[in-house]
């Protein structure tokens, strides 16, 4: 499971309280990106300014609608993303340039 911003491995948070399930957390200092099963990626902050400015990716599994997590990126292919479902292991490949505005096709 990778942080969608830093592409570094996310680790399960540590807690002394075993009753409390902590989300996966990015290891970059200051990174607010977290992941847990039902919610998918989210930001560990209550600051609505930060939440509003940040676009967290939402990739849903076509089988069961679970939020998928980023599992692989390829440095040579900037837009390549491999997503995986935490429930059924289905993967989804995103290899398109989705940046807005550029190379827009004319509609029919």
Binding test (CB under 5 A) with Zn ion, winner from 15, 45, 63, 91: 63
54 binds Zn ion (CB under 5 A): no
Q: What are phi and psi of 69, to 5 degrees?
A: -115, 155
The pattern of x and - marking residues 9 through 48 that bind Zn ion according to CB under 5 A reads -----------------x-x--x-x---------------
C-beta closer to Zn ion: residue 6 or 39? 6
Whole-number minimum distance, CB 85 to Zn ion, in Å? 3
In 3D space, the residue among 21, 27, 22 whose CA is nearest the CA of residue 2 turns out to be 27
Binding stretches for Zn ion (CB under 5 A): 3, 5-6, 26, 28, 31, 33, 61, 63-64, 66, 85, 87-88, 90
């Amino acid at each position: 499971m990778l942080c969608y911003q830093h592409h570094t491995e996310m680790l399960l948070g540590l807690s002394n309280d075993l009753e409390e399930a902590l989300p996966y957390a990015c290891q970059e200092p200051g990174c607010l990106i977290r992941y847990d099963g039902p919610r998918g990626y989210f930001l560990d902050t209550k600051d609505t300014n930060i939440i509003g400015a940040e676009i967290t990716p939402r990739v849903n599994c076509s089988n069961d609608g679970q939020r998928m997590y980023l599992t692989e990126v390829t440095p040579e292919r900037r837009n390549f993303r491999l997503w995986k479902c935490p429930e059924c292991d289905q993967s989804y490949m995103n290899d398109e340039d989705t940046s807005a505005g550029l190379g827009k096709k004319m509609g029919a």
